[in-house]
Structures are given as C-alpha cells and as structure tokens.
C-alpha cells in the first residue's frame, strides 16, 4: 500500500500541461453545475438551524479535520449544541441513508463504517453527535429529530451545492500560491479562484511547514492574492503542531493518557500515514526532533489490513526504529487490525488560531 512522497507528487503534478484541456472541461462542468442552482433550475435545501460550512477550494491536506475539532469544541465551550454533518468519505458501505457515527456519548459504528475523519471527529468532540450521509440535508433532518441541535457544522461542504448554509469558512494551505494554482486534474483546485467570493472567511493554514526565512513574504503574497478573489472575506491564520502522543490502544478512549511529544525527541521512528499531503506530517515530526527512519505512505483515506501492519513492523525493525509513529486519522483504522510487537504511538495534532480581532468577528457570525 505504500508509496514515496516523490512518487505521489509526480503522479499528481507530472506533465500537468498535458492535463490542461481536461482541466478546462472540468472547470466548465463545475460552472454549469453551480449555475443550475444559481439560476433556480435546482433548489438548495435549507435546514431549520444555521449551517456553518468548513471546506477547501483545493483537494485535501489543508488541516480541515483538526480545524473542525477545534471549532466544534469551542462552540460547546460557549454553550452551543452543534452536530457535525459529513459525507463520510471512505465509509463502507457508502452512507446512502443517514448513519449516526456518534450519538455524542459513544461511537455507534466502526471506523470503516464511518470513514476515518468522521470517526476521529466523533472521538475528539465529546458530547457532539456526528451524522454522515451522501445527502447532508437528509443527515441534518435525521439529526434534528434525534439530537435537537442549535446549529450544524458541515464538514468539507464548500462544493456541496445542494445544501444552503449561512457561513462558509474556507481553508487555504500556505504551501499553495493562488496565482500558480490550476484546476483538477492539472492542479489541486476543485473550482476556480473566483469561487472564493462566496467565502465568509478564509483561513490560511500550515504556514508552519514553510521555511522560516520565506514565511512572512509568502503569507503576504497569499493574503494579497486571495483578497483579489474574496474582497469581502476576513483572512485569518491557523497553524498546527504536534503536542503529545499516546499508545495506539487508547485511540478509542474519550481521553487517552497522553505524554508530551518532547519525550520522543532524539528517538528513532518509522512514520505511517495515509494523508493527502504526507510531507506535512514529516515536517512536524522533524520539528519535534524525532529521527525518521522511513515513512510508509498510503493513499489518502486508505484502509489497513493485517498484512500491512506486519509489513510496517518488519520495516521498523529492519530500520532500527524504536517505535512506529502515526496520526490520529490513521490510528482509527490501524486500531482495528493492529497486533502486538513493535510499539505504535499516535501523535496528536493541535490546531492553534491566531488572536486577531478577525476571529472574534467570525465567531460572532457563527453564534448570531
């Protein structure tokens, strides 16, 4: 199941100029699809409570899941009763009917039935129900009947035209320069940059992955370019960091017993991840001063089988690693098949918001 980062990047970006005609076709289809809703040929369904959408303009890797976890827990802290709605990408079988991942007290299905990201949100947002379904509207109605929320947080829904929303938060990865970005399949954009005009706020993430010497200049460039396409939107920042770790066996615990990530500094780890942009995980591990002996990389949202886990343990042993280190998103799937042997630790990712006045204004719009 593994591939190297250069192989994945080559597959995504190699010979992109050959894919430009396909990008133009894709872009035309995307505009036509949205036009059907804008012109009234298709109707957007509206839930009886406010919908706050957290999404991307690019494919994966912007930090959406940790951002939602941070946002939802902040809403709970402020006395709100949110429900998370998600498509449940990767859920087996596909959630053609609403499926409750968590009732707020405990998970109601397995990670495979939920999809890795909905399961992780369920585990890390105590007291918050998570409902998945290909129709987010039907999932929302089911949640209204069962949980009586006062607002919905829509996961990865910026392109989900069928559901109306009151707030659109769009995450933008600082490693992507808007003016150099192209639409699928030649690039990473799901739709044109003009779509940012729909955003309530843009949140620049992952500046921590940039070399420190160029970080300030790059952020200024991105802010300037994003503002051209979204003059009305607040432009904010959030960054992530590894702050702790715990044994894989505790992934399903509501409050796993964590240790500071600094305890692993100077030790040797084999990394395991199935992420959209696995180089970011590597960067954070290096920043924690953990020595990387190798990185087993799967396709984003990939499932793990017993043979994969055995291969990982063999690779870790052959490389002289002290332990295997993975992400919480991967851990919810690994826990279903992991056995004994080489220790497997789960790194926890914390999302930190900047303290600018813009965040207070965005929260006011969400809470109003």
Model confidence over 271-290: pLDDT tens digits? 999 998 999 999 999 999 99
Q: How far is CA 74 from the centre of its chain?
A: 17
Q: Which of 54, 72, 326 is nearest to 168 (CA)?
A: 54
Strand blocks (E) in 87-211: 99-102, 130-132, 151-155, 167-173, 201-205
Answer with the residue of higher pLDDT: 315 or 35. Answer: 315
Question: What would the two tokens of residue 253 be?
Answer: 């615990």
CA distance 234 to 216: 18
CA distance 345 to 280: 18
The predicted pLDDT at position 4 comes to: 45
Domains of the chain and any CATH numbers: 12-239+353-367 (3.40.50.300), 241-351 (3.40.50)
Model confidence over 302-353: pLDDT tens digits? 888 888 888 999 999 999 999 999 999 999 999 877 767 889 999 998 888 8
The predicted pLDDT at position 5 comes to: 42
Q: Is 360 helix (H, G, I), strand (E, B) or coil?
A: helix
Sort 111 into a burial class: Cβ within 10 Å, 0-12 / 13-18 / 19+.
buried
pTM: 0.91
35 band by pLDDT with thresholds 50, 70 and 90: confident
Percent of the chain with pLDDT over 70: 94
Question: Residue 205 to residues 38, 63, 119, 153, 223: CA-CA distances in angstroms?
Answer: 30, 7, 22, 19, 12
């Amino acid at each position: 199941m593994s591939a190297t980062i250069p192989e994945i990047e080559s597959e995504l970006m190699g010979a992109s100029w050959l894919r430009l005609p396909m990008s133009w076709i894709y872009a035309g289809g995307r505009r036509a699809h949205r036009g059907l809703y804008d012109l009234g040929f298709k109707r957007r369904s509206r839930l009886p409570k406010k919908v706050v959408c957290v999404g991307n303009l690019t494919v994966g890797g912007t930090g959406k899941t940790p951002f939602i976890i941070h946002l939802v827990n902040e809403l709970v802290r402020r006395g709100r009763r949110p429900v998370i709605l998600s498509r449940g990408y990767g859920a087996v079988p596909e959630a053609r009917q609403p499926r409750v991942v968590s009732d707020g007290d405990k998970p109601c299905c397995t990670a495979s039935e939920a999809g890795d990201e909905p399961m992780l949100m369920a585990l890390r947002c105590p007291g918050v129900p998570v409902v998945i379904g290909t129709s987010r509207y039907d999932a929302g109605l089911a949640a209204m009947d069962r949980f009586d929320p006062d607002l919905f947080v829509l996961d990865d829904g910026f392109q989900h035209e069928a559901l109306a929303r009151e707030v659109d938060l769009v995450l933008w990865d600082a490693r992507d320069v808007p003016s150099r970005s192209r639409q699928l399949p030649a690039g990473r954009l799901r739709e044109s940059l003009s779509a940012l005009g729909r955003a309530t706020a843009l949140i620049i993430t992952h500046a921590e992955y940039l070399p420190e010497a160029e970080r300030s200049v790059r952020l200024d460039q991105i802010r300037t370019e994003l503002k051209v396409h979204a003059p009305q939107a607040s432009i904010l920042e959030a960054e992530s960091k590894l702050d702790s770790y715990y044994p894989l066996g505790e992934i399903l615990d509501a409050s796993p017993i964590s240790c500071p990530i600094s305890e692993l500094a100077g030790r040797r780890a084999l990394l395991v991840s199935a992420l959209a942009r696995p180089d970011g995980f590597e960067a954070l591990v290096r920043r924690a001063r953990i020595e990387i002996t190798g990185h087993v990389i799967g396709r984003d949202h990939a499932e793990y089988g017993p043979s994969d886990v055995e291969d990982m343990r063999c690779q870790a042993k052959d490389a002289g690693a002290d332990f295997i280190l993975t992400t919480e998103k991967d851990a919810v799937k690994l826990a279903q098949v992991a056995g004994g042997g080489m220790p497997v630790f789960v790194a926890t990712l914390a999302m930190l918001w900047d303290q600018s006045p813009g965040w207070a204004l965005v929260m006011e719009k969400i809470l109003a």
